[in-house]
Structure 1
């Protein structure tokens, strides 16, 4: 057997998140590093949450906490843990002046009034699936503040609208942990290497398929959906499309992003305004969808064109491969 070459003995590890951020920043001559540091802070919190989730079956952090959040939803213990971890990481990072979280009613001021950014987030989406070991995720949206520097953040910082996002993304905690984000120029995915403690670039310049055969929706509510949604789902079944629905928004969206498909969360008779939150669920995933070549609509127009009026505003959403989203609109 011939001896291995030096390259064969020490294969490249890949591009780490830190290195990718540094290289990307060098392409913008006026970048000063605050957004780059903010993305690192989010990645750090994601690593910590990944650790907590992996311990969920060993220590008493799974299941309900017996409390409700501002949405009136039962809080899981990991909801509270994730919220605290992300707030702490963003406060300590120093780049964020304020945070809006699904778990809190009002703005969370970090004390860093000099910070140039605000973050809207769902710290742990799908957390009720923890007990049955199903993939869950974190969703985040980043804005450059419009209020005066060195003063407290205001409502206007968070109600700028989806087109004003400077970055958005999600972290998927599944068979592997992935961070997927965009700063407006393409979408890139990083897989967490536990042995190194680093996110490694694994999905460069993600381009979502223009069409697909997967539709993701809770069929149990089909009789409560608008007529055009029922009509579209009937057509999907006639074409022998594949139904795939996990019940974790990040997991369903991620699969369709890579393989091609459409995710539907329509309004119902019980929730005529929709169920998903606009600022920290719909906006960031719509941003990722559009930057990867897909689309996101509310049934009338683009999600990113909706004018927000309140922090916890809800919206229907149909997002994924552009051709499939167009087909929803045709119905």
Structure 2
């Protein structure tokens, strides 16, 4: 990668070790944005390079980004490095203070379609062993966030209290703090789900979506708009910016009982960020941040967005299986 793009990360002077990690991450974010912006002129970034431990295809840029993070974090305060693209945890610094979980390139299937992609990261206090660093509740996170490579290259993150946003200035090559997104509190009519899997979903999810589709003539009494980008970073950025809800349920297809999103690398970091922004995240019924993964690449269903919207989904799971969704309107259970 082109090291002239050295991402700066202001605002963490009081936390030198965390500041060091974020400067290194920001450098790779900036370099990756530069590589993507060149449109694959030098190499085919969308070329399939193999499969990862979960059986998902790896693109060339998945591997390039992962290698770049490992190189950038050498000598950093990161003790344990856990990547979606690697089978096991790498120990970078035996005396390091942090465990870093990362999806080096989220949404890589969209590389050749010029749709926004990104990276997701979560930072834990380092524990004695790799498993102890990452097989723990997401509430143990001390920071999480994502970089998004789109019309702007942005970092959106939290240290557990509120959300901050940085935009890469293409002139200075530095990340500049700007106003944070505040849209998650908006009563947005947008929802995101892969509707092609409708027939495979559990009944509560189908009932919830049926009521949205019924619009102003259904029990919700209003019209809704479906959005689906198939990039978790892009979906999160939209919801943080203008509200709504995202659903990736488990379903009855082989290998999809727990969905396809990974708890350690994707769901816990996103949940930590969303809750810091005033929203909620669950697996449909249980808070994501309370879940403890039983292995590094454990998967979980994911529902996140506005707090009331996520609670509403949980309500569909609470109802008797035989109860028609239309009764929601008659009972007034979700009329708020």
Q: Look up the SS of the partner of 2:144 in the other structure.
A: strand
In structure 2, distance between residues paired with 1:57 and 1:308: 36
Q: Aligned pair 1:262/2:242, yes or no?
A: no
Contact kept? 2:9, 2:22, Cα under 8 Å: no
> What residue in structure 2 maps to residue 102 of structure 1?
84
Q: Look up the SS of the partner of 1:21 in the other structure.
A: coil
Structure 1 segments unaligned to the other structure (5+ residues): 1-15, 26-30, 148-152
Superposed displacement of residue 137, structure 1: 0.8
> What residue in structure 1 maps to residue 94 of structure 2?
113
In structure 1, distance between residues paired with 2:43 and 2:101: 28
Q: Aligned pair 1:308/2:293, yes or no?
A: yes
Q: Aligned pair 1:65/2:56, yes or no?
A: no
Q: Look up the SS of the partner of 2:178 in the other structure.
A: strand
Deviations 1:150-189 (A, max 9, x none): xxx4311111220100100000001111101101121011
> What residue in structure 1 maps to residue 272 of structure 2?
287
In structure 2, distance between residues paired with 1:206 and 1:259: 7
In structure 2, distance between residues paired with 1:66 and 1:117: 30
Deviations 1:194-247 (A, max 9, x none): 111011112237462153211000000011011111111111122321111111
> What residue in structure 2 maps to residue 88 of structure 1?
71
In structure 2, distance between residues paired with 1:18 and 1:176: 16
- Normalising by structure 1, report the TM-score: 0.87
* Count of residues in correspondence between the two structures: 301
> What residue in structure 1 maps to residue 103 of structure 2?
122
Taking a change above 3 Å as real, the CA distance of residues 265 and 195 of structure 1, as seen in their structure-2 partners, is same
> What residue in structure 1 maps to residue 214 of structure 2?
238
Correspondence list, 1:160-309, <5 A: 160-204=136-180, 206=182, 208-239=184-215, 240-270=223-253, 271-309=256-294
Structure 2 segments unaligned to the other structure (5+ residues): 1-6, 216-222, 317-336
- Normalising by structure 2, report the TM-score: 0.86
Contact kept? 1:64, 1:74, Cα under 8 Å: no
Of 157, 164, 173, 2:133 maps to 157
Taking a change above 3 Å as real, the CA distance of residues 255 and 113 of structure 1, as seen in their structure-2 partners, is same
In structure 1, distance between residues paired with 2:135 and 2:182: 28
Q: Aligned pair 1:133/2:109, yes or no?
A: no
In structure 1, distance between residues paired with 2:244 and 2:181: 18
Contact kept? 1:210, 1:322, Cα under 8 Å: no
In structure 1, distance between residues paired with 2:260 and 2:10: 38
Taking a change above 3 Å as real, the CA distance of residues 138 and 66 of structure 1, as seen in their structure-2 partners, is closer
In structure 2, distance between residues paired with 1:323 and 1:238: 19
Superposed displacement of residue 57, structure 1: 3.2
In structure 2, distance between residues paired with 1:48 and 1:19: 18
Q: Look up the SS of the partner of 2:160 in the other structure.
A: coil
